[in-house]
Amino acid sequence: MMGTKTERLSATLADITRAAGILRSGGLVAFPTETVYGLGGNARNDDAVAAIYEAKGRPSFNPLIAHLPSVEAAKRYVSWSDQAERLARAFWPGPLTLVLPLLEGHGISPLVTAGLDTLAVRVPAHSAARALLSAFDGPIAAPSANPSGRISPTSATHVRAGLDGRIEAILDDGPCTVGLESTILGLFDRPTLLRPGGISADEVAEVLGAAPLTRNGAEAITAPGQLQSHYAPSSSVRLNALDRRGDELLLGFGDMDCDVNLSQSGDLIEAAARLFAALHELDQTGRPIAVAMIPQYGLGAAINDRLRRAAAPRNI
Ligand code: AMP
Ligand code: MG
């Protein structure tokens, strides 16, 4: 997407409609939330979500937060609970993200959840974000709108400095007010604070009637989203394979003889978009998996990171 002209949009009805149209056609739009500017793409479109990783130059597939217009919309994608209801009433719209089990038939791209069976959901409070979510009328996957490794952007100028020419549009509605990222709370057996943020653990405790479990900060940062193990196939995975050995099925890349091809034409965005579905498909056969060499540039870095995890010895 390098070389795209990045449109400047404002929070007028016409521009919000334009931004929703860009999202609908698979494009990326940076938009303000009360925490930081997010880099939004259609959460149900594999290619759009792959393009988010590509634009940010992210070296790994960390799960992304799905932004939604309302509690009702959230309930279409995740299994709702009593605790979720109480927290949503207290803090939504606002800077609290809830991680909940995905519902059957959710339609969310596996690149959003990094293959997990839980989804992080949030209803933001910012008026422009809400207007965009209503106009788009679907889940918007959005990490912070900065190149990987740089500081989160709290103004449209920050976004342009990092992503100009790499995304379709920036919706400029001034600086963000919270400037802190959202608090992430996993609603598993015990509510667990996965990332501190705009809403404090005490505020959450008051609503839940008990303090959430916390994880030490270093762990939360170096291993985000690892409360449940990352998706790994149950079959063995062998990397950098040149051909099949024994009973193996070959996951290919580029013009080659294989069982499933990530991208016949050698397109890394297409390969990223298909990665999780391809691994699931091969895993279902119960046969060992061999994976062809994937180049290490662009999205190849994130694909290889994920494949290395899939191939690593299991400790569970
Ligand atoms: P960012 O996109 O920079 O706001 O970061 C999103 C954060 O949410 C990351 O730390 C993710 O690991 C975390 N996250 C998103 N989805 C999940 C999930 N399903 N389980 C656990 N953590 C998640
Ligand atoms: Mg970030």
Query: Any idea of the CA torsion for 53, 151, 28, 92, to the nearest 10 degrees?
Result: 110
- State the virtual CA torsion across 152, 230, 269, 158 in degrees, nearest 10: 0
- Asked if residue 135 and residue 40 are part of one domain, the reply reads yes
pLDDT score recorded for residue 228: 39
Same domain, 168 and 242: no
Separation between Cα atoms, residue 127 and residue 91, nearest integer Å: 16
Q: Is residue 81 part of a domain?
A: yes
CA dihedral 260, 309, 190, 85 (to 10 degrees): -40
Domain shared by 205 and 250, yes or no? no
Q: For residue 254, tell me if it sits in a domain.
A: yes
Which of 99, 121, 219, 231 is the best mutation target for the ligand 1 pocket, counting ligand atoms within 8 Å of the beta carbon and taking the most? 99
Establish if 117 belongs to a structural domain.
yes
CA 11 to ligand 2 centroid distance, Å: 23
The answer to whether residue 175 sits within a structural domain is: yes
Please state whether the predicted TM-score (pTM) of the whole model is above 0.85: yes
If you take atom 1 of ligand 1, which residue's CA is the nearest one?
143
Q: Point out the ligand 1 atom lying closest to the alpha carbon of residue 142.
A: 2
Element of type H or E holding 238 = strand 237-238
The reply to whether 24 and 162 lie within a common domain is yes
Number of domains present in the structure of the chain: 2
Taking the CA of residue 113 as reference, the ligand 1 atom at the shortest distance is: 19
Q: Are residues 50 and 196 in the same domain?
A: yes
What per-residue confidence (pLDDT) applies to 304? 94
Around Cβ 74, how many Cβ atoms within 10 Å?
A: 23
Query: Based on the domain organization, do 241 and 131 belong to the same domain?
Result: no
Is the Cβ–Cβ distance between 122 and 96 less than 8 Å? yes
Give me ligand 1 centre to Cα 38, in Å: 13
* pLDDT at residue 162, rounded to an integer: 96
Residue 1 lies in a domain: no
Domain of residue 245, residue span: 237-311
Q: Of 165, 182, 214, which marks where a domain is finished?
A: 214
Ligand 1, pocket-test mutation among 106, 194, 309, most atoms within 8 A of CB: 194
- Cα–Cα distance between 269 and 266 in angstroms, integer? 9
pLDDT of the residue at 230: 60
Q: What is the pLDDT of residue 215?
A: 73
14 C-alpha vs ligand 1 centroid, how far in Å? 32
Q: Same structural domain for residues 149 and 193?
A: yes
Distance 113 CA to ligand 1 centre (A): 8
- The span from the CA of 175 to the CA of 177, in Å, is 6
Establish if 221 belongs to a structural domain: no
Q: Do both 296 and 200 map to the same domain?
A: no
In tens digits, the chain (316 residues) has pLDDT values of 567 899 999 999 999 999 999 999 999 999 999 999 999 999 999 999 999 999 999 999 999 999 999 999 999 999 999 999 999 999 999 999 999 999 999 999 999 999 999 999 999 999 999 999 999 999 999 999 999 988 889 999 999 999 999 999 999 999 988 777 899 999 988 999 999 888 999 999 999 999 999 876 434 433 344 433 466 788 899 999 999 999 999 999 999 999 999 999 999 999 999 998 899 899 999 999 999 999 999 899 999 988 998 898 765 4
Which single residue is written with the structure tokens 């057996």? 189
Ligand closest to the CA atom of residue 148: 2
- Specify the pLDDT at position 216: 61
The pLDDT of residue 252 is 98
